Amino acid sequence: MSSSIKSQNPAVRAILEGTAPPQARMAAASGMLPLPQSDLLEVLVNLRQEDDPGIAEAATETLAEQDTEDLLAAATNDETSPTVLDYLVTLSGEYKQIHEAVILNRNTSDRAIANLAAATQEGSLLELISLNQQRLVRFPAIIDAILENDGRSAEASRRARETKKEFFEKERGAQQIAQELRARGNSAAAEFFESADLGEGFSAEDAWLIASHIEVSDADLDNSWMPTERYEELQVETGAERAANFAKVLEHERLEMGEVSAERVSLIRRIMFLNARDRMKLAMKGDREARGILIRDSNRMVAVAVINNPRVTDQEVENIAAMRTVADEVLRLIALNRAWARSYTIIHNLVRNPRTPIPTAITTLPRIRTRDLQQLTQNRNVSEAVRRQALRLAQVRSGN
């Protein structure tokens, strides 16, 4: 659950991660803790699924007592947790205003909108859903839900049919989507669609999802880091190799981040089943979320492409330098980058990382502070050679 928690409140995170005492979790489920409304709703929605039936029942009852105005405020707030928005979709009865706000909230999941389109009998809500063509194209199940709903209005039906015909039944396919994206000023995603090879298990829905994570255009790329002779490392992979790569990346995410949400698992699967050349392109052009996935790729060229993405930040590099699931070549290249080597946090993370090549770590040691060198001599996670060199440097500085 931890990977899907929106709140930064330590108390909320402890409750939802299961580290808070049972009494505190029951108090939260009963609405007895002094939490901001946004945090309270996130706690209650999540605790409904609690294994402890007493806590789950208390959370459900407390949710039912929430004021409609508070629920509407949450539905209209872009900072509301997606899990809360997904819950608000399920409300039945006189909640039309709340449903309208949830439909318009950009953080509401596509699956939740599809569920609402299938369940509601309000024609005006179906019309409102049909207005968001980008969402319909990204998640075609919404189109099907509208067209199969007997409560749909003529306008909702028309828009859904036109979108289906325009984007999914014409030969133009990806080219049409690219034109729409370019018209909206999103040239980076448009370039992806123009070269996308739909079919063979790669649908327009897959392409749209991946394109939404592209933020760097071709004009901003610098390919000089990659010698032509290394293209052979992007050779064709078997389905089994891609499946193994997906499983490895997912396992590493779980080890480092805890539970991984279903939406992120789906994104990881779609990205990791791209061919190696396309994954490398996405690594160079993708946003932070895509970079966070591809830095763990089994293919070294793909992982190296991430740190050559012009949008990669120092904070990301700090995290990468500490990763024990990243290719050693990535760590070596980080150490060679003059700008990153000026960051003490980055070089300190590198020398403590057992994945850092020994020559790279030893070369970096002279820039490490004496106190940290002394701590490094006791660090059994790094190699004996690195510990010995850290000890020598610490002794020299202390005059021993």
Extents of the domains making up the chain? 175-212, 326-400
Residue the block writes with tokens 């932070």: 288
Q: 285: how many CB neighbours lie within 10 A of its CB?
A: 25
pLDDT value of residue 2: 43
What pTM value is reported for the model?
Answer: 0.59
- Which residues, at least 6 apart from 281, have a Cβ–Cβ distance to it below 8 Å? 192, 305
Amino acid 3: pLDDT:
45
CB 357 within 8 A of CB 336: no
What does the pLDDT read at residue 192?
77
User: CB-hemisphere CA count at 13 Å for 27?
Assistant: 12
As given in the structure block, the two tokens for residue 16 are 């939802």
| Per-residue confidence (pLDDT) for residue 1, from 0 to 100 | 44
Residue 229: per-residue pLDDT: 59
Residue 259 is predicted with a pLDDT of 80
Identify the pLDDT of residue 275. 84
Among all chains, which residue has been given the structure tokens 């002094």? 34
pLDDT tens readout for residues 56-73? 999 999 999 999 999 999
**Under a CB-based contact definition with an 8 Å cutoff, are residues 256 and 325 in contact?**
yes
CA distance 287 to 150: 40
Q: Give whole-number Cα distances, 72 to 37, 139, 287, 295, in Å.
A: 12, 25, 31, 39
> With contact defined as beta carbons under 8 Å apart, do 319 and 342 qualify?
no
Find where tokens 């610490």 sit: 394
Per-residue pLDDT of the chain (400 residues; tens, 9 = 90+): 444 687 788 888 889 888 889 899 999 999 998 888 988 999 999 999 888 999 999 999 999 999 999 999 999 998 899 899 999 999 987 789 999 999 999 889 999 999 999 999 999 999 999 999 888 888 889 999 999 999 999 999 999 998 887 777 644 556 667 777 787 777 888 887 776 655 555 666 677 777 888 888 888 887 777 766 566 677 778 888 889 999 999 998 888 777 888 888 888 998 998 888 888 889 999 999 999 999 999 999 999 999 999 999 999 999 999 999 899 999 999 999 999 999 999 999 999 999 999 999 999 999 999 999 999 999 999 999 999 999 999 999 887 6
Distance of CA 138 to CAs 4, 28, 168, Å?
21, 37, 11
